[in-house]
């Protein structure tokens, strides 16, 4: 099973920004307790590399990846820290080539068919549709994806995805997994609300199970 296939089994990837790597293991434990052992740790803060490294070493059962990876140096940092996949809000062919050379599964951000064709030419198997709701929501992604269905490309919509609209996204067969910022917010992490994070993860897992049980 590829990394992106593994992400699709979870259907939701918590997108997380940590300001203090000391919260890494409590966060990981909350996600594991909630039944959602996966996380995209974004390089929006200086604590990203240390957070990924702490989780990769101490909680190997959690599938940890790097988000907001914008350049080759961050690809190297993510890989060295133990990230098993990486994503970006945009598409940079030089970064894609570097990630491919390093063997790091990478999903660039796309918003248009032109972006998508560039990602396909670079050999991508999954892309981040970002910002998902401002870009037109599930209907826009459905129409963008249609001409490329035969390629097998999968999508990770992120930006405005919520528990309430989760079903609309997962109804699209092209969607491998959504990016969820609501599960572990920066404010809840800073406040130490790990019980709430575990509950959010549990509710998300239950919603995915409910959606998948429908005929």
Note every long-range contact of 88-96, with CB atoms under 8 Å and residues 24 or more positions apart, other chains counting.
88/128, 89/128, 89/130, 89/131, 90/130, 91/115, 91/118, 91/119, 91/127, 93/118, 93/122, 95/69, 95/70, 95/71, 96/122, 96/123, 96/124
Give the phi and the psi of residue 117 in degrees, each rounded to 5.
-65, -35
Q: What is the pLDDT of residue 29?
A: 98
Q: What is the pLDDT of residue 215?
A: 78
Residue 212: pLDDT band (50, 70, 90) is very high
196 classed as catalytic: no
| Catalytic option among 57, 72, 128, 210 | 128
CA-closest candidate to residue 13, choices 104, 102, 100, 85: 85
The residue-averaged pLDDT of 36-58 equals 98
Q: What is the pLDDT of residue 83?
A: 98
163-174: pLDDT as tens digits = 999 999 999 999
98-140: pLDDT as tens digits = 999 999 999 999 999 999 999 999 999 999 999 999 999 999 9
Q: CA 56 to CA 25: how far, in whole Å?
A: 10
Q: What is the mean pLDDT of the chain?
A: 97
Q: How far, in Å, are 8, 32, 106, 155 from residue 128 at the CA level?
A: 13, 24, 10, 6
- Proportion of the chain above pLDDT 90, given as a percent: 99
Segments making up each domain of the chain, as ranges: 3-213
Domain boundaries 3-213, CATH class: alpha beta
Task: Say yes or no to pLDDT of 142 above 90.
Answer: yes
Angle (CA) 173-105-69 rounded to 5° is: 100
Q: What is the pLDDT of residue 86?
A: 98
53 classed as catalytic: no
Query: What pTM was computed for the model?
Result: 0.96
| Catalytic option among 6, 33, 40, 72 | 40
């Amino acid at each position: 099973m590829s990394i992106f296939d593994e992400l699709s089994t979870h259907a939701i990837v918590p997108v997380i920004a940590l300001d203090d790597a000391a919260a890494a293991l409590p966060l990981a434990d909350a996600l594991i307790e909630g039944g959602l052992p996966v996380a995209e740790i974004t390089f929006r803060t200086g604590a990203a590399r240390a957070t990924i490294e702490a989780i990769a070493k101490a909680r190997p059962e959690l599938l940890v990846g790097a988000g907001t990876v914008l350049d080759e140096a961050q690809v190297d940092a993510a890989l060295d820290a133990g990230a098993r996949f990486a994503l970006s809000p945009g598409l940079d062919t030089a970064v894609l080539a570097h990630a491919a050379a390093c063997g790091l599964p990478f999903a660039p951000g796309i918003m248009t068919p032109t972006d998508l064709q560039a990602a396909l030419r670079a050999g991508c198997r999954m892309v981040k549709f970002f910002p998902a709701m401002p870009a037109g929501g599930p209907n826009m992604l459905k129409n963008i994806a249609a001409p490329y269905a035969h390629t097998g490309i999968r999508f990770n919509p992120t930006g405005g995805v919520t528990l309430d609209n989760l079903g609309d996204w997962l109804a699209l067969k092209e969607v491998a997994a959504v990016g969820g910022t609501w599960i572990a917010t920066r404010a809840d992490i800073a406040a130490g609300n790990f019980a709430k994070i575990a509950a959010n993860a549990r509710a998300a897992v239950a919603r995915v199970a409910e959606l998948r049980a429908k005929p």
